[in-house]
Chain A
Amino acid sequence: MAGIQRCKPFIVVLLLQIFISALSLSSVNGDGYTINGPVKIQSFGTKGFGHPGKLSNVKVILNGGQSVTFLRPDGYFSFHNVPAGTHLIEVDAIGYFFSPVRIDVSARNPGQIQAALTENRKGLTELVLEPLREEQYYEIREPFSIISVVKSPMGLMVGFMLIVVFLMPKLMENMDPEEMRQAQEQMRNQGVPSLASLLPGAARSN
């Protein structure tokens, strides 16, 4: 039920688009129409790992696999013999995320095609398919830095130890000798072993 309520504003948006959007080329041929347009993949500047980036293996899929086509060298694709109605076009290119495109082929005005991205509900004035974003399939290893070593569990262990070894005595020194003695007294009473007493051959004799 929630789905229906949600899509109402979307329909309104679409209705508006029908009047606004410019038309992409199509030709009547026999019992169907032809949908064609380009797929444009600009290099996003940063070329990440694992992107073959080959335009030749980009597939364009009509209606969830009803027909599949490939791109020509100029980046254009075409579907022939498409009946009037509402269709869905998906682009499958590894390394990029494309929004599926809703295509309305008008039966009344032959040759009119409206297109809209379903992902962000944006109408397309021309049937030019562009990726919404690049996809990074791998985590990128962070470059070596002291911080990362320090942040690792081992680094933390070493760091903690260093603090105990070097900072604690300093803290002890800054303490009031009276208090110190009291604290030591207490510790002795409680029987908490000190660092030195834990070590072999370091029995205290004061």
Chain B
Amino acid sequence: MAIRAFFLVLLFCSSLIPSFALYEDQVGLMDWHQQYIGKVKDAVFHTQKAGRKRVIVSTEENVVASLDLRHGQIFWRRVLGPNDAIDGIDIALGKFVITLSSRGGILRAWNLPDGQMVWETSIQGSGASKSVFLIPKVGGDNLIFGLGKGCLYAVSAIDGEVLWKRDMTAESLEIQQIIQAVDSDVLHVSGIIGSNQFGTCKVDAKNGELLMHNTADIPGGLYGEVIPVSSNTLVALDSTRTTLISILFSDGEIILEHTPISNFVGDSYGIAVISPTKLTGTFALKIETLVLFVRLTSEGRLEVVDKIKQPTATSDMLALSEGQQAVGIVQHEDGMIHFSVKLVHDWGNSLLEESIVMDHQRGLSDKVFINNYIRTDRSHGFRALIVMEDHSLILVQQGEIVWRREDGLASVIDVTTSELPVEKDGVSVSKVEHSLFEWLKGHLLKLKGSLMLASTEDLVAIQDLRLKSSEKNKLTRDHNGFRKLLIVLTRAGKLYALHTGDGRIIWSLLLPSLRKTEACECPTGLNLYQWQVPHHHAMDENPSVLIVGRCSSSSDSPGVSSFVDTYTGKELNSLHLLHSVAQVIQLPFTDSTEQRLHLIIDTDKRGHLYPRTPEAREIFQREFSNIYWYSVDTDSSVIRGHMLKSNCISKATNEYCFTTRDLWSVVFPSESEKIIATVTRKVNEVVHTQAKVIADQDVMYKYISKNLLFVATVAPKASGEIGSVMPEEAWLVVYIIDTITGRILQRMTHHGSQGPVHAVFSENWVVYHYFNLRAHRYEISVIEIYDQSRADNKDVLKLVLGKHNLTSPISSYSHPEVVAKSQSYFFSHSVKAMAVTLTAKGITSKHILIGTIGDQRYLDPRRSLNPSQAEKEEGVIPLTDSLPIVPQSYVTHAFKVEGLRGIVTIPAKLESTTLVFAHGVDLYFTRIAPSRTYDSLTEDFSYALLLITIVALVAAIFVTWILSEKKELRDKWSVHLVWKWAFRTGNV
């Protein structure tokens, strides 16, 4: 009885602890968090009279950040909204960072030391224009002149107040540039009118009054931008791009001068581009790979100062103290970069010439920003911030790379995983614990920690011990399947392999096939697929991944593909596909070397089989009639089902090309429904049980089919933002469609609701998140599908006698009767991404991972979703209409994954555990156990306490043994005495 009572207590204790909660000292034990900023667009150094030298950057991920110049860490970082792109950045008054964003619409000032927003000014205007701003370096007015939305305005740098605003649309001037002449209160505004007129205005900087307006005709028109070269000269290309036009304007006169480019380079040259440098008196002219530096002489003539053949990046002009101006130039030459700083007025001499060995995987340099400092011998030293082709950021100083940031990882496109190699014989077995003493010491420390007896130093030691545990960072496969490689494809076309233990980069590869070439002008990566996963037959092969991309953003451009070994990070093979890539289908077949068969569908609806081997073709032919797929056409609101027909017959094809035919199509009325989301089940999902036991001991059979598609459509009017439509005009319709037959299994309408819809499909249920306009809250709904045709298989006798239909094959063509159950809840957060946990065998209960608008992710255990009365009575569902969030269930705890784009879940070998990887501007990885780690001891299991208990028990055993020995002896003595006494009295 006593034992049973104790067991009850035990169970009770363990059930009190919430399933996901994390103690603060466990942060970093299973998870890692990396902060990035994205590809740098613009940078401003702040090094004068500052204790902490920093560089302020704006990036393509709409991030403003302040970086430490010594180490490259982030001092502060602000991530602006997704449609709030930053156009310009500068420092004003020595204490504010000014950013111009939203196409000139919003001007913000940030406090330089801590990144607190100081003021924000919104400029409303009707027109569209370039958005630039200008902070005069001289003069004490503290004004900022800006241009945006067709308006010219002046804003006070102190509080952001708009002092004057002038709509320039009346002059129909397309403003290209604002210049403030030195020591004057006059702004020179210049631009083009129409295509062949040049206009310039003078505007009073004090009040915005238009002082003078002048125009001049440009015969032949202009191409592209007008570049200011000095305070009164602009340079542009004419529309044929063969002649440079320099425009000199002074006091109302406009003088045009034409200089053919052939004067500089001879007759044969390619397309010329003027690059917008801020050099005074000099500009750069790019003709393919050749860069010309052209100077404007005092007589107004143009002359070439320098020609550079190698790929080059040039920095903006930097004013040195003595009124000199310097420019930084970075050139590439086989594995080296040459960084040189030249004086604008004395081009022959370089102030600095440095050569730095550079990793090939970083590609060419894209942008350079330079900054100077005074060395101890009063000469000028320079540091350069270089943005590379792979979006990484490098600081170069004194001929060395001081730090580098892998900011390409801020724009992850796709993620897949790869197993690590198996630990081989001969490879030394883990040397985790050096000696028994240290092992015990470590565990004693942990024990102290768990009993809250540890001092602060002890706590630090414990944390170090945990983080350092080399076990999790090894490069071999582990028993639980926690250690893996995350293969990540970024927008720069670079492939990274990250270790799941600590997130370090194992290798990186700038994919040659995704780099700019003549044939392929702006290649973009699309997806990553596991190409070869060695298993049984081909254990000696390394796993590899397939990268599919296309040559330009339009879907009918030719595709590119590349195969990369995931252990070595070397490209095995690359193909320039002759066809386009519309869809890539991973077939469930592998050849003898475990290469997975892939079918790439092009825009002409032809299928192309990869790998191109006769063996693959043979396997494919065998399964020819079993291959189905679907395509979603959101523009015309049609979903089509396809299958293969025959080989291609046209001459431009080969035997690995197949024609297809349409099987079915679901056409949504385009005037009332627009497809906004489609979701299917994950291919690698495992379902453990077909049946679900509901509260009244009844069994329901799940309708489990891999070929289900969830489609959400909204009213076309309501496809915009929240608040743009009335509830009466909005509706959301959801469908569940069988993708083999096109049969609609379920259709449901939510009136007064609109997108955006985020959904996950798993097993037999789909959970989706949308906005309810009537209640003006977000809602989460669930649909579960049950197979009614198996519902009568409940009789035990029938099951025993085999008279059930559970073993009958499931086919999409049989039309089983299905029942759908649905339930909706209010939900208080906007959602950015949704995913579901995956485990190895599908036994563990599933949790939904939701990326909230605050970029945190949290888990919500999927409730028992049957709205049956019985369950409610039993209290299985708490009777609330909204899903509350327990803060402890945030997977990212106090971290944020800024700019969250996707959540990837990967099953570990241990059934209870799922690996979770979230990517956005930041990366976050952790492992979670939705039903707690029931199949292994937790990380902080106290072995020392176990040992102590065992020792105590052994000691107690010996003590009791001795005690019982003694007692026995005493008993024997007493028996002996009794015998003696009896003997003496003669009783015997």
Contact = CB atoms under 8 A, between A and B. Distances in A.
Contact of B82 (A55, A63, A65, A149): A65
B750 A3 contact: yes
B82 A88 contact: no
B756 interface: yes
B354 interface: no
Interface in A1-59: 2-4, 6-7, 10-11, 29-32, 49-52, 55-57, 59
Contact of A6 (B21, B829, B881): B881
A51 B6 contact: no
A206 B964 CA distance: 14
A7 B82 contact: no
B41 interface: no
Interface stretch (B85-93, B648-656, B915-923, B952-960): B952-960
A100 B777 contact: yes
Interface string B835-854: 00000000000000000011
B774 A4 contact: yes
B830 A68 contact: no
B553 interface: no
A7 B953 CA distance: 62
Nearest to A99: B828
B119 A72 contact: yes
Interface in A155-196: 156-158, 160-163, 165, 195-196
Contact of A94 (B18, B76, B772, B896): B896
What's the dominant secondary structure at chain B's contact region?
Answer: mixed
B193 interface: no
A78 B119 CA distance: 10
Nearest to A73: B116
Nearest to A200: B961
Given A161-B953, A199-B961, A141 B890 contact: no
B721 A66 contact: yes
Nearest to B117: A70
A78 B779 CA distance: 27
Interface stretch (B47-55, B238-246, B943-951): B943-951
B916 to A, nearest CB: 16
Interface in B1-22: 2-3, 6, 9-10, 13, 17-18, 21-22
A11 B728 CA distance: 14
A152 interface: yes
B830 A151 contact: no
Interface residues of A, number: 80
Given A63-B722, A138-B893, A102 B776 contact: yes
Interface string B472-512: 00000000000000000000000000000000000000000
Interface in B112-132: 114-120, 122, 124, 126
A198 to B, nearest CB: 9
A177 B774 CA distance: 81
**Max chain A C-beta neighbours (<10 A), residue from B887, B952, B968:** B887
Given A78-B120, A142-B452, A199-B961, A4 B81 contact: no
Given A49-B24, A118-B777, A141-B452, A56 B117 contact: yes
A139 B18 contact: yes
Nearest to A59: B854
A80 B125 CA distance: 12
B759 to A, nearest CB: 16
Given A73-B116, A144-B453, A157-B953, A92 B853 contact: yes
A151 B12 CA distance: 11
B81 A136 contact: no
Given A55-B116, A67-B84, A81-B124, A88 B451 contact: no
A138 B21 contact: yes
Interface string B744-772: 00000011100010000000000000011
A62 to B, nearest CB: 8
Contacts of B890: 135, 137
Contacts of A2: 823-824, 867
B437 to A, nearest CB: 22
Given A3-B772, A50-B893, A152-B945, A64 B115 contact: no
B893 A85 contact: no
A6 B775 contact: yes
Given A64-B756, A102-B776, A202-B968, A80 B124 contact: yes
B446 to A, nearest CB: 13
Contacts, number: 209
Contacts of B774: 4, 7, 11
A141 B459 CA distance: 13
Contact of A163 (B2, B752, B953, B965): B2
A125 interface: no
A31 B885 CA distance: 38
Contacts of B13: 151
B894 interface: yes
Contacts of A196: 961, 964, 968
Given A64-B722, A80-B124, A161-B953, A136 B824 contact: no
B633 interface: no
A165 B956 contact: yes
Contacts of B27: 50, 138
Contacts of B772: 3, 7
B894 A68 contact: no
B78 interface: yes
Nearest to A153: B10
Interface string B777-814: 11101000000000000000000000000000000000
A88 B964 CA distance: 77
B929 to A, nearest CB: 15
Contacts of B771: 64
Contacts of A157: 949, 953
Contacts of A90: 829-830, 853-854
B724 interface: yes
Q: Which of B84, B776, B960, B964 has the most CB of A within 10 A?
A: B776
A21 B117 CA distance: 30
A13 to B, nearest CB: 11
B775 A118 contact: yes
Interface string B868-897: 000000000000011001011010011010
B975 interface: yes
A139 to B, nearest CB: 4
Nearest to A100: B828
B983 interface: no
Contacts of B968: 196, 202, 204
Contacts of B118: 72-73
Interface string A89-131: 0101011010110100000000000000011000000000000
A50 B24 contact: yes
B893 A195 contact: no
Contacts of B3: 160
A11 B727 CA distance: 12
17 contacts: A2-B823, A3-B775, A3-B824, A4-B751, A52-B894, A56-B116, A57-B115, A63-B721, A73-B117, A90-B830, A90-B853, A119-B828, A137-B22, A138-B22, A154-B948, A156-B9, A202-B968
Interface of B: 2-3, 6, 9-10, 13, 17-18, 21-25, 27, 76, 78, 80-84, 106, 108, 111, 114-120, 122, 124, 126, 450-453, 721-724, 750-752, 756, 771-779, 781, 823-824, 828-830, 832, 853-856, 867, 881-882, 885, 887-888, 890, 893-894, 896, 945-946, 948-949, 952-953, 956-957, 959-961, 964-965, 968, 971-972, 975
Interface of A: 2-4, 6-7, 10-11, 29-32, 49-52, 55-57, 59, 61, 63-73, 78, 80-81, 83, 85-88, 90, 92, 94-95, 97, 99-100, 102, 118-119, 135-144, 148-149, 151-154, 156-158, 160-163, 165, 195-196, 199, 202, 204-206
Question: Sorted from nearest, which 4 A-B pairs have the closest CB atoms?
Answer: A68-B81, A80-B122, A135-B887, A92-B854
Given A4-B752, A7-B775, A56-B117, 6 more contacts: A61-B853, A80-B106, A97-B885, A141-B23, A148-B451, A156-B10
